[in-house]
Structure 1
Amino acid sequence: MEIGTGRIGSCSKEHQKIYQEWFNFADSDNDGRITGNDAIKFFGMSNLSRPDLKQVWATADSKRQGFLGFKEFVFAMQLVSLAQEGHQISHDLLNGDVDFENIKPPVMEGLDALIMRKKQSSKSSSLESNGSSSNQTSPASQWFSSKSSKKISLSSVTSIIDGLKRLYLQKLKPLEVTYHFNDFVSPLLTNSDFDAKPMVMLLGQYSTGKTTFIKHLLKTSYPGAHIGPEPTTDRFVVVMSGTDERSVPGNTIAVQADMPFSGLTTFGTAFLSKFECSQMPHPLLEHVTFVDTPGVLSGEKQRTQRAYDFTGVTSWFAAKCDLILLLFDPHKLDVSDEFKRVIYSLRGHDDKIRVVLNKADQVDTQQLMRVYGALMWSLGKVLNTPEVVRVYIGSFNDKPVNEAATGPIGKELFEKEQEDLLSDLKDIPKKACDRRINEFVKRARAAKIHAYIIAHLKKEMPAMIGKAKTQQRLIDNLEGEFGKVQRDHHLPPGDFPNVEHFKEILSGYNFDKFEKLKPKMIQAVDDMLGYDIPELLKTFRNPYD
Structure 2
Amino acid sequence: MEIARSAAAVGCSKEHQRIYADWFAIADPDGDGRVTGADATKFFAMSGLSRADLKQVWAIADSKRQGYLGFGEFAAAMQLVSLAQAGNEITQDSLKREDLSSFDPPVMKGLDELLARSMAIVNVVRPQENGTPQVQAPSTNSWFSSKSAKKIQTPLTAVTSVIDGLKRLYIEKLKPLEVAYRFNDFASPLLTNSDFDAKPMVMLLGQYSTGKTTFIKHLLKTNFPGAHIGPEPTTDRFVVVMSGSDERTVPGNTIAVQADMPFNGLTTFGGAFLSKFECSQMPHPLLDHITFVDTPGVLSGEKQRTQRSYDFTGVTSWFAAKCDVILLLFDPHKLDISDEFKRVISSLRGNEDKIRVVLNKADQVDTQQLMRVYGALMWSLGKVLNTPEVMRVYIGSFNDKPVNESAVGPIGKELFEKEQEDLLADLKDIPKKACDRRSMSL
TM-score (norm 1): 0.68
Q: How many Å separate the matches in 1 of 2:252 and 2:123?
A: 53
CA contact (8 A) 1:7 1:101 kept: no
Structure 1 letter corresponding to 2:73: E
Determine if contact 1:271/1:307 at 8 Å carries over to the other structure: yes
| Aligned equivalents of 2:245, 2:312: Cα separation in 1 | 30
Paired letter, 2:289: H
Match of 2:111 among 96, 111, 115: 115
Please report how far the alpha carbon of residue 37 of structure 1 lies from its aligned counterpart in structure 2 after TM superposition: 0.7
SS of corresponding position for 1:122: helix
Change (3 A) 1:391 1:83: farther
Q: CA deviation at 1:363?
A: 1.1
Gaps of 5+ in 2: 1-5, 128-133, 142-152
Deviation at 1:87, TM superposition (A): 3.1
Matched, 1:256 2:262: no
How far is 1:49 from its partner? Answer: 4.2
Corresponding residue of 1:399: 401
- Partner Cα separation in structure 2 for residue 217 and residue 361 of structure 1: 18
How far did 1:101 drift? Answer: 4.3
1:181-239: CA deviation from partner (whole Å, max 9, x where unpaired): 22322212223222223222111111100011122233333333222323221211112
Cα gap change, 1:327 to 1:137, in 2 (>3 Å): farther
Counterpart position of 1:146: none
The answer for the alignment partner of 2:98 in structure 1 is 99
Relative contact order (C-alpha < 8 Å, sep 6+): which is higher? Answer: 1
Out of 236, 239, 245, the residue aligned to residue 238 of structure 2 is 236
- The equivalent of 1:53 in structure 2 is 54
Q: Counterpart of 2:170?
A: 168
Q: Matched residues, percent identical?
A: 74
Q: Which residue of 1 aligns with 2:382?
A: 380
Secondary structure of 1:154's aligned partner:
coil
Preserved contact between residue 60 and residue 68 of structure 1 (Cα < 8 Å): yes
Residue by residue over 1:76-118, the C-alpha shift from the partner in whole angstroms, topping out at 9 and shown as x without a partner, is 344445556453635xx47x9743744735754xx1x422111
Q: In 2, distance between residues paired with 1:279 and 1:234?
A: 18
Instruction: Verify the 8 A CA contact 1:245 1:279 in the aligned structure 2.
Output: yes
* SS of structure 1 residue aligned to 2:57: helix
Structure 2 counterpart of 1:295: 297
Equivalent residue for 1:63? 64
Code of the aligned partner of 2:328: L
Counterpart of 1:358 (choices 357, 360, 380) is: 360
What is the CA–CA distance in structure 2 between the aligned matches of 1:55 and 1:350, rounded to whole Å?
38
| 1:356–1:13 Cα change, 3 Å | farther
Q: Structure 1 residues 417 and 441, CA, compared in 2 at 3 Å: closer, same or farther?
A: closer
Equivalent residue letter for 1:210? K
**Aligned residue number for residue 144 of structure 2:** none
Q: Is the 8 A contact 1:83 1:89 kept in 2?
A: no
| Whole-angstrom distance in 1 between the partners of 2:14 and 2:418 | 39
Change (3 A) 1:361 1:345: same
Q: What is the aligned residue count?
A: 419
Distance of aligned partners of 1:135 and 1:119 in 2 relative to their CA distance in 1, 3 Å threshold = closer
Q: Is the 8 A contact 1:36 1:66 kept in 2?
A: yes
Whole-Å separation in 1 of the counterparts to 2:233 and 2:122:
66
Cα distance in structure 1, aligned partners of 2:106 and 2:238: 51
Q: Secondary structure at the match of 2:110?
A: helix
Q: For 1:439-470, what per-residue CA distance to the aligned partner results, in whole angstroms no more than 9, with x for missing partners?
A: 24423xxxxxxxxxxxxxxxxxxxxxxxxxxx
From 298, 306, 309, the counterpart of 2:308: 306
Aligned to 1:44: 45
- 2:326, 2:40 → 1: CA distance? 36
The residue aligned with 2:146 is none
1:446 alignment counterpart: none
Q: Is the 8 A contact 1:31 1:138 kept in 2?
A: no
1:72 and 1:272 mapped to 2: Cα distance? 36
Give the Å deviation of 1:59: 3.4
Cα distance, 1:48 vs structure 2: 4.3
Query: What is the aligned partner in structure 1 of residue 26 from structure 2?
Result: 25
Partner letter of residue 293 of structure 2?
Answer: V
Higher helix share: 1
- Taking the aligned partners of 1:422 and 1:122, their CA distance within structure 2 comes to 48
Report the secondary structure of 1:408's partner residue: helix
Quick one: structure 1 residues 178 and 115, their matched pair in 2 at CA, closer, same or farther if it must change by over 3 Å?
same
CA distance, structure 2, for counterparts of residue 435 and residue 248 of structure 1: 26
Answer whether contact 1:199 1:321 (CA < 8 A) is retained.
yes
2:261 maps to a residue whose letter is M
Does the residue aligned with 2:271 lie in a helix, a strand or coil?
Answer: helix
Does the C-alpha gap of structure 1 residues 82 and 379 become closer, same or farther in structure 2, counting only changes over 3 Å?
A: farther
Q: Contact 1:312/1:345 (CA < 8 Å) preserved in 2?
A: yes
Aligned twin of 1:483: none
CA contact (8 A) 2:358 2:395 kept: yes
Instruction: Mark the CA change 1:177 to 1:74 in structure 2 (over 3 Å): closer, same or farther.
Output: same
Aligned 8 A contact 1:34 1:68 in 2: yes
Q: Distance in 1 between matches of 2:98 and 2:353?
A: 37
